[in-house]
Amino acid sequence: MAEIRRSLREMKDYTVTCGRLDQSESQELVCLQWVEEKCAVNKGVISPIDGKSMESVRSKKMFQKSEYKENGKIIRWTEVFFLPRGHNPKGGATDTAEHNRLTERIARAFCLALCPHLKLLKEDGMAKLGLRVTFDSQEVGFVAGSNGQPLPAQYLNALDSVLIPVIHSRGRTRGEEPIVMELIFYILENIT
């Protein structure tokens, strides 16, 4: 067992011979092999903002603590994707408490801004929404969309006034990796 543990720690292949030691006939082998991972993460997931594939993009499922309801509809934040940017092809997001608080504040502001419009959005076929936020030394901003298209101007105007202060509240540090994250939201029927 110690050899197996060492092989696992060192990420090396290991073969276990099964059966009696004094048996000279055919013995069974169990081979532990390290192989190249073929990433099937987020297979089939499409960005509601631009319709691009989110396959192999790192993401995190979210549990929204508060519910935002209006006019018989509810908006729920379900996931955040960390898009590749700059020198970091895996997505420049850190999982720090400060980063998580900022992401939650952005999601909350998005939900609050769109609450008065939930019924219209749903009726117009925009039940899945995306919000892409960019934090880069040259660019800080957001894009929101549904069905591969940007949201209409009336919704973007409502988002501007609440999202811009939250996004700009993040202090930037020199040498910090650029971050581009895409938050996914769903508008559902409120059945309570």
Based on the fold, state whether residues 125 and 65 are members of the same structural domain: yes
**Residue 66 DSSP symbol:** S
**101 and 7 share one domain:** no
Residue 44 maps to a domain? no
What was the pLDDT predicted at 107?
94
- Residue 53 included in any domain: no
DSSP string for residues in 102-133:
HHHHHHHHHHHHHGGGHHHHHHTT--EEEEEE
pLDDT score recorded for residue 184:
95
Q: Are both 103 and 178 inside the same structural domain?
A: yes
Q: Which helix (H) or strand (E) holds 155?
A: helix 153-168
The pLDDT value recorded for residue 41 is 76
Per-residue confidence (pLDDT) for residue 123, from 0 to 100: 94
The answer to whether residues 104 and 169 belong to one domain is yes
| pLDDT recorded at residue 187 | 94
Q: Tell me what pLDDT residue 174 has.
A: 53
Same domain, 27 and 65: no
Q: Are 128 and 46 in contact (CB under 8 A)?
A: no
Quick one: 146 exposed, middle or buried, by C-beta within 10 A (0-12, 13-18, 19+)? buried
pLDDT of residue 95: 59
Tokens of 116: 């008065």
CATH number at residue 165: 3.30.500.40
In total, how many domains does the chain have? Answer: 2
CB 181 within 8 A of CB 81: yes
- Look up residue 142 and give its two tokens: 């957001």
Q: Are residues 63 and 158 in the same domain?
A: yes
Domain with 131 in it: 58-189
Same domain, 63 and 27: no
Residue 22 and residue 87 share a domain: no
Q: Please report, in tens digits, the pLDDT of each residue of the chain (192 residues total).
A: 888 888 888 888 998 888 776 766 667 788 888 877 665 678 888 999 999 999 888 888 887 778 899 989 999 999 999 887 655 455 555 557 777 888 899 999 999 999 999 999 999 999 999 999 988 777 778 999 999 999 999 999 999 999 988 888 775 555 567 788 999 999 999 887
Give me the amino acid identity at 173: T
Is residue 46 one of the residues assigned to a domain? no
39 belongs to a structural domain:
no
Structural domain contains residue 130: yes
Same domain, yes or no: 63 and 156: yes
